[in-house]
Structure 1
Amino acid sequence: MSAAPCLVAPSAPSDKVEVVEVDRALVHALGLPVPELDQDRKNFFLRFSFSSTVRAAFRAPVGMRPAAWAEKYFIVTEGSRPGPWRNENAPYLAGIMDAWAEPYVRDVTFMAPPQVGKSKIGEILVGYISDRDPSLTQYVVPDETSAAELVDERLRPMFEDSPRLSKLLTGAPKDLTAKRFKLRTMRLMLVWAGSVARLAAKAAKYQIRDEVDKYPEAPSKKETSTEALLDKRQRTFRWDRKIYRDSSPTKESGPIYLAFSAASARFYFHVRCPLCGHMQRMYFTDPDGRPCVCWPKEEAEADRIEDGLLAWYECSRCAGHWDDAKRDRAVSRGEWREEKTGMELFAYLRLHKPRRIAFHISALYSMFVSLSETAAAFLRSKGNKLALRDFCNGYLAEPWKDYAVERQEQAILALRDDRPRGLVPGGGVVSCLLASVDTQQDHFIYRIRAFGWGGDSTTWGIREGRVETFEDVERVLWQDEYKDPDGKAYPVRLTIMDSQGTRTAEVYEFCRKHVGKIFAFKGEQQMAVPHTFTVIDHFPNSPRKIPGGLKLLRGNVTYFKSLLSGKLSINPADPGAFLLHAETTEDYARQMCAEYYDDADGVWLCPDHKANHFWDCEVYCLIAADLLGVRHWKKPEDKPAAAAVHHSPSTSRGSRSGSRPVPSAIARRRG
């Protein structure tokens, strides 16, 4: 205390003086003299005051998130825009910083290309921690040279140039080195990934792991991985530890991609078109294979495109052209959305409270990288494997993987026969029509396929395409007629509809509306059986119950994709062939070649930006056939029409529709 306590008459406290009422026992305990006139009093008023240092220590911190703190106190000391930090220069960074500060979040991963500000987040968090919650902190970089550059070029200027942070410096030059970075409030431990001694030196509540894909896989032959050693440094801070890691990706086995894939929730930045207002994620080429970054068809010289700023971005909704200025406007009005649900970042975080979250962004979002630079980098990468890898890592922020196309497009097109689209084969060779629907954010991809009789039956593609609404799906599946050359109509017996993604609740409602004709489907890479059912009681992300529940079909997509791959290799003239109609397009063939089998993990994978919707649809059709047990169906013997009256319609196997009753669920199950 700065002044000795004394007894006073009742009065109000001031900004620097406290007045409290105390009893006689406390007065005697403090050894304070009691005036003779007050000897009989039981309570007294005590006046005292604290020094400014003590007051500052006890003062509750004012709530402030990292993004707001950065705009108020952080100074950029290098780069093209030095001066006070402005979130508007990189709007996508603010959400990541504030998400890191959520109390339940423990691990944040940011996979991004160079020059989008990912390392700047680490610097801001160091300043924020030292000012708001001084605690043991490790800043991990690839090597000792990087640590020295970090201190000399970024951290020391950051603290010295900020009026707020400069108050935390001790004033001793020896306290601002790569081996010793000491503040008045805390010590920042600079760690380089190649040093076992530095990695294992001390525990830390906070860790900033910068450019993790540049770390050595292990700091020495006797040690485990660098990431595993770092994880052990936080064991004693079980309940409040936090990690922020960033890097440009290298390969799928690299630390940043592994951490990104392991996150409980992954977020992508969606921007708002300045022309039509549509929210969308930015792609170089979208999942349907449509180019999004475009340039004049007559121009193929990379330097001319880059120097003349000839490239533009095409809106997925209105097809409007964005130059760099419009792109920047679109980004400034953007927001992070969760990959599967499409929910806004903080709405998702506060509902689900995930511990491990990850963010991905490409150079397309950065105001410091023109669209024309990205287009030129792509053109320069053609025919150059190393340049293509650099484009993939350094612009798209995607891991590089060498893969071979398992099924050539021309081999797929060789499966075409001479039937027009929509015509069912005649002669009684077809047992039923089955269908599938792949659900996208604003449209549907469908496939209708005919199946023969028995286990080695040939199958025929009847119709495939894209529709926009659920009403269109109803029309294609159950209103349009599919006939053979004799005019015999075949109804669609069963449909499998993808229910994952952002429209799960809508798909559930649609399947409930058409119960018995369609199943909502969820694919899984590993299952003990080919397929099974799970009863769903509630709509996703909602307390609302599904009346009567919903049977969700779950299927082992790894098993059925391998089955499909084998069928595609059967000669078109052999039994069991997988045939297509004569109007099958090259786009269909491309999508059937999109996925490849990863021997290391034993799963099928699809490279980013390759459309695989028809491939998925064909997989779903095979699941439908297996669910119905089509492989067990026998072709009925030809009988005179008069004989049919002796058979009950429920048991007849010679009906004109070519279909047969659905066996029990138990009989249909496989394995």
Structure 2
Amino acid sequence: MNSQTTTEKYSQLKQNVRKLWTPPPELNVSQWADQHRKLSPEASAEPGRWRTDRAPYQRGMMDAVNEVGVREVVFMTSAQIGKTEILNNILGYFVHQDPAPILFIQPTLDMAEAWSKDRLAPMIRDTDALTGLFRDAKTRNSDNTLLHKKFTGGHLTMAGANSPSSLASRPIRIVLLDEEDRYPVSAGSEGDPGSLAQKRTTTFWNRLLVSASTPTVEDESKIEARYQQSDQRKYYVPCPACDATQVLSWQQIKFEKGKPETTCYECENCKERLTDAQKPWMLTHGEWVAEAAFNGSIGFHISELYSPWVRWAEMVENFLKAKRLPETLKVWVNTSLGETWKEATEGIDPSGLLKRKENWGRIAPEEVVVITAGVDVQDDRLEAEVIGWGIGQESWSLQYHVLHGDPAQAKLWEDLDNVLGQTIKTVDGRTLSVGAACVDTGGHFTQKVYEYCKAREYRRIYAIKGASQIGKPLVSKFSKANKLRVKLFSIGTDTAKQMIYSRLKIHQPGPGYCHFPSDYPEEYFKQLTAERIQTKFINGHPTRIWVLAKGRRNEALDCRVYGLTALHILNPNLDALAQDQEREKLKQKEDQPAEPKANEWMGYEDWNFS
């Protein structure tokens, strides 16, 4: 009995030793994900075991890193495709199957920290194949920090594209770039972040760079440039009716006007109307097809039309909402179609705006529900525009003031108080005040602006500072890093000007349309349209730059930028306010006494029909 037990123990020991010394089976990324990856409940709407079959197009995207001769893999995609989890699977694969020095770059250092805490840590915790390879998460030393983690055979560094110091360290074999189109043009003064990271891989013969991003602006998009230099793969799916293969295209989405629930997909070949119920079969039988020669770079382009998590009717609903304004349509094209947006870079003729002037007197049109103001500070004056806003950010320039005086003296700021503290009547009898105002701090009187705004923050009068960084959000979280602890908002002037110019090109009243009063001089419109977009190459990448036309002034444009910024800081629900206003009108109408009937107390002859 004891001899048998000893034999069994010896046999088990041999099996354990054999397991220890037997290399893991050679897997590609999708096989690794299907066998090992667990989706965490706090990071996924579908927690549990990973199934590539859930979105079959992901198989080819993941397995591209295993193809012979590949140096670069590019994912130009919409949202809702799973690209972030694809990157996570590629990361997990290399950590477990082919360990190496890895660099994972997010657009900002804050985003890198958030990804480490919210995505990486749960993935390591819930994926058994990874858990034992990293040091204990509770251990805090140089081997395990928020942005740098060692694992068996390699290490992972997480960086922000906006932080030169986080990009400048040791050689790297695997580089993963997430949302590259959101990277700054330059990491400090060092140059393009993606190019800097790629240089770090040159000493490795088996190096690899993977970039995934939704695209942005045509001819500027970094992911578009990478995709155009790749073999340009697209996912062809068969029609269930005629078996003809095709790339799903927005042009083939059909629906009755105003009825998203009628949405279907029309086959390019047989014109059969297909539904979402047929999409899983189409995805399962689809395949990636390269449309250019392979040169070491594999590229994938795919849109939300393929997503198993988004219905075609839902895309139509989002499109109908987005098309109201150029800037929201741009976001939809980028994030739903995964396509670049073509900016209208030509200038605007001020004479065209002169023709749209209207006469509404000194009271605001009844459509106005919110008022904001923007203030530009010059050496010998202040200029301020008071703007009314309605449904869909339709705007009315209510007043434009040029206040002459010395900004160093109190008198000029008292004059500004009179402008920002006024009330304005509307055609339908309401009284509105300025809901929010922004005052520029970029001139020679920064301290005076700080003092003025600090005392009036309770009235939502804010100090702002423009930042011309391409792609910067219109409004960023305020900072108080100044002596007076003033709320200072950093604003994306490039974004604001693009929004304004896009709206000036809307020709029919409605969402985004800009109204101007009849008493504005031609000079106002010249200033409003004084800038043009020029494309210059910065660090080898084409970049849009706003340039002031020679001999022109642009104070009116600046005031409009600041007034728009004030609206976005205030962030009112304009549609809801307009609906409330309409309900109030109806209520007042109902409360009015009814007109007397003629036969009650007036004779027929008493009515005047002339």
- CA shift, 1:139, in A, is 0.8
1:50/1:372 CA distance change after superposition, 3 Å: closer
Deviation at residue 370 of structure 1 after TM alignment: 1.2
C-alpha change, 1:274 and 1:145, in structure 2 (3 Å) is same
The separation in 2 between residues aligned to 1:184 and 1:130, in whole angstroms, is 8
Q: 1:330 — aligned with what?
A: 282
Is 1:81 the counterpart of 2:81? The answer is no
The residue aligned with 1:354 is 295
How far apart are 1:329 and its partner, in Å?
2.0
Residues 141-152 of structure 1: pairs in structure 2 closer than 5 A: 141-152=106-117
**In the alignment, structure 1 residue 112 sits paired with structure 2 residue 53:** no
d(CA) in 1 for partners of 2:11, 2:96:
24
Deviation, 1:16, is 9.2
Correspondence for 2:191 among 218, 224, 234: 224
- 1:279-309 CA deviation, whole Å, 9 max, x = no partner? 1111001xxxxxx00102xx32xxx52xxx3
- SS of residue matched to 1:191: strand
Displacement, 1:157?
1.1
Provide the residue aligned with 2:253 in structure 1: 293
Is contact 1:193-1:219 (8 Å) kept? yes
For residues 615-659 of structure 1, give each alpha carbon's deviation from its aligned partner in whole angstroms, at most 9, with x where no partner exists.
Answer: xxxxxxxxxxxxxxxxxxxxxxxxxxxxxxxxxxxxxxxxxxxxx
Tell me by how many angstroms 1:224 deviates.
Answer: 1.5
Contact 1:202 1:233 in 2 (8 A): yes
Contact 2:77 2:302 in 1 (8 A): yes
Q: Which of 51, 56, 67 pairs up with 2:30?
A: 67
Q: Which residue does the alignment assign to 2:229?
A: 262
Letter in 1 for 2:39: V
Say which SS state the counterpart of residue 311 (structure 1) adopts: strand
Residue-by-residue CA offset, 1:154-205 (whole Å, 9 max, x unaligned): 1111111122222213224225542222223421111111111111111111
1:246: Cα distance to partner?
0.3
Counterparts of 1:152-191 in structure 2 under 5 Å? 152-173=117-138, 174=140, 177-191=145-159
CA distance, structure 1, for counterparts of residue 15 and residue 49 of structure 2: 35
Instruction: Give the distance between the partners of 1:318 and 1:600, measured in 2 at CA.
Output: 46
Amino acid at match of 1:280: Q
Structure 2 residue corresponding to 1:339, chosen from 281, 288, 291: 291
Shift of 1:354: 3.3
- Cα distance between partner residues in 1 of 2:536 and 2:178: 28
* Aligned counterparts of 2:147 and 2:341: Cα–Cα separation in 1: 35
Q: Is the 8 A contact 1:147 1:178 kept in 2?
A: no
CA separation of 1:113/1:183 partners in 2, compared to 1, >3 Å: closer, same or farther?
same
CA drift at 1:50: 12
> Which structure 2 residues correspond to residues 7-86 of structure 1 after superposition, within 5 A?
52=17, 59-77=22-40, 78-86=43-51
Work out the CA distance in 2 between the residues paired with 1:159 and 1:185. Answer: 16
CA contact (8 A) 1:156 1:176 kept: no
Contact 1:324-1:371 within 8 A present in 2 as well = yes
CA contact (8 A) 2:150 2:156 kept: yes
- Taking the aligned partners of 2:324 and 2:82, their CA distance within structure 1 comes to 31
**What does 1:445-460 align with in structure 2 at a 5 Å threshold?**
none
Query: Structure 2: which amino acid aligns with 1:283?
Result: S
- SS at structure 2 position matched to 1:310: strand
User: Does residue 61 of structure 2 align to residue 96 of structure 1?
Assistant: yes
Coordinate RMSD, CA, aligned: 2.7
Cα distance in 1 for partners of 2:39, 2:318 equals 29
Deviation at 1:56, TM superposition (A): 6.3
Alpha-carbon distance in 2 for matches of 1:385, 1:338 = 33
Q: Give the letter aligned to residue 295 of structure 2.
A: P
- Among residues 312, 320, 323, which one is paired with 1:379 in the alignment? 320
Which residue does the alignment assign to 2:530? none
Give distance in 2, aligned partners of 1:600 and 1:129.
Answer: 39
Is the 2:78–2:335 contact (alpha carbons within 8 Å) kept by the matching residues of 1? yes
2:265 counterpart of 1:313: yes
Question: Which residue of the other structure, out of 302, 324, 341, is the alignment partner of 1:400?
Answer: 341
Distance of aligned partners of 1:155 and 1:176 in 2 relative to their CA distance in 1, 3 Å threshold? farther
How big is the shift at 1:91?
A: 1.0
Once the two structures are superposed, residues 132-161 of structure 1 have per-residue CA deviations (whole angstroms, 9 ceiling, x without a partner) of: 111111111111221122122211111111
Which stretches in structure 1 are left out of the alignment for 5+ residues? 1-13, 18-48, 286-291, 341-351, 406-597, 602-671
Q: CA deviation at 1:51?
A: 8.9
Aligned letter for 1:293? Answer: I
Partner Cα separation in structure 1 for residue 238 and residue 27 of structure 2: 28
Equivalent residue runs for 1:254-653 within 5 Å = 254-263=221-230, 265-285=231-251, 292-296=252-256, 299-300=257-258, 305=260, 309-339=261-291, 354-403=295-344
Contact 1:148 1:177 (8 Å CA) reproduced: no
**SS state of the match for residue 159, structure 2?**
strand
The residue identity in structure 2 corresponding to 1:261 is Q
> Does the Cα contact within 8 Å between 1:267 and 1:358 map onto a contact in 2?
yes
Unaligned 5+ runs, structure 2: 1-9, 347-533, 538-610
Q: Deviations over 1:549-575 (max 9, x none)?
A: xxxxxxxxxxxxxxxxxxxxxxxxxxx
| Offset at residue 376 of structure 1 (A) | 2.1
User: How has the CA–CA distance of structure 1 residues 184 and 293 changed in structure 2, closer, same or farther, with 3 Å as cutoff?
Assistant: same
Query: What is residue 129 of structure 1 aligned with on the other side?
Result: 94
- SS of the residue corresponding to residue 201 of structure 1 reads coil
Q: How far apart in 2 are the matches of 1:172 and 1:376?
A: 44
The percentage of aligned residue pairs carrying the same residue is 30
SS at match of 1:270: strand
Contact 1:151 1:176 in 2 (8 A): no
Give the letter for the 2:255 counterpart. Answer: W
Q: Would the aligned equivalents of 1:268 and 1:336 in 2 still touch at CA under 8 Å?
A: yes
Distance change in 2, residues 1:275/1:223 (3 Å)? same
